[in-house]
């Protein structure tokens, strides 16, 4: 039987063959594209999101292409949801190999002079505590196994919460470097996603200041482009990359 070179490579050299990945915020945007790409590259994936219908649609798309996936409804700001998410992954597919902390929300561009405790707590609950809880649970599994990869989605220029994620990435990456665990982050620039839907009545002045450099942005990115970087960081090709933040913004922050 004749097998084309392309088919041979696709079938036998998939980057994440036999890996298990959990991706949060995976029902849309960057999380969706990361999940689909991981599945295409041979990983079994847990599609985690608060949007159950959206997560199930991603699972159907993956399974329709011959991949393995399961949807888990989870709010990463809730400890019970995080525990269930990782436990379900392990029970369904085996030991965890990759965690992608992608779930995140925005802050209505609230200025420091008017930001409320409620908004501050809400953003940090998802963007910082969610990353910490996901990572803490995943580390307990990865340490038992002796290996693991964590990819965090930070930002090129965002809020205090994302700066916290950058520091956390570096710290955890260093702490567990000798345990076979790598932790890296991606800092995307402007990417065409629906994260703006997490804002309600954004502050006009805050939005003006936050977007004042938008004219220098060479172009907006696509979720697939961030997914490709995430694939590299999750793969053995990045075995010597740890505690690093990769900026992906088409040179926006370089001007």
> Annotated active-site positions, please?
158
Q: Length of the chain in residues, anyone? A: 255
The C-alpha atoms of residue 206 and residue 198 are separated, in whole angstroms, by 16
The C-alpha atoms of residue 247 and residue 186 are separated, in whole angstroms, by 6
The single-letter DSSP state of residue 61 is H
Q: Which residues pair with 45 in a beta bridge?
A: 21, 69
In degrees and rounded to multiples of 5, residue 177 shows phi and psi of -60, -35
3-class secondary structure, 32: helix
C-beta neighbour count of 87 within 10 angstroms:
13
């Amino acid at each position: 039987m004749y097998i084309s070179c392309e088919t041979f490579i696709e079938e036998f050299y998939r980057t994440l063959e036999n890996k298990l990945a959990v991706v949060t915020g995976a029902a849309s945007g960057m999380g969706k594209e990361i999940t689909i790409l991981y599945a295409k590259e041979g990983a079994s994936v847990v599609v985690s999101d608060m949007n159950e219908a959206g997560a199930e649609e991603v699972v159907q798309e993956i399974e329709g292409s011959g991949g393995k996936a399961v949807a888990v409804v989870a709010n990463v700001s809730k400890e019970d949801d995080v525990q269930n998410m990782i436990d379900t992954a392990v029970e369904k597919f085996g030991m965890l190999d990759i965690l992608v902390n992608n779930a995140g929300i925005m802050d209505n561009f609230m200025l420091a002079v008017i930001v409320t405790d409620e908004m501050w707590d809400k953003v940090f609950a998802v963007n910082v505590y969610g990353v910490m809880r996901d990572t803490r649970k995943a580390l307990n599994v990865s340490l038992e196994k002796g290996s693991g990869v964590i990819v965090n989605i930070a930002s090129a220029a965002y809020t205090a919460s994302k700066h916290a994620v950058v520091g956390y990435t570096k710290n955890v990456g260093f702490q567990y470097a000798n345990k076979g665990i790598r932790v890296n982050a991606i800092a995307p620039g402007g990417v065409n996603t629906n994260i703006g839907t997490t804002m309600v009545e954004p502050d006009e002045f805050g939005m003006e200041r936050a977007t004042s450099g938008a004219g220098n942005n060479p172009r907006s990115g696509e979720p697939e482009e961030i997914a490709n970087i995430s694939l590299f960081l999750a793969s053995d090709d990045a075995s010597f990359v740890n505690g690093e933040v990769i900026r992906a913004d088409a040179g926006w922050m370089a001007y």
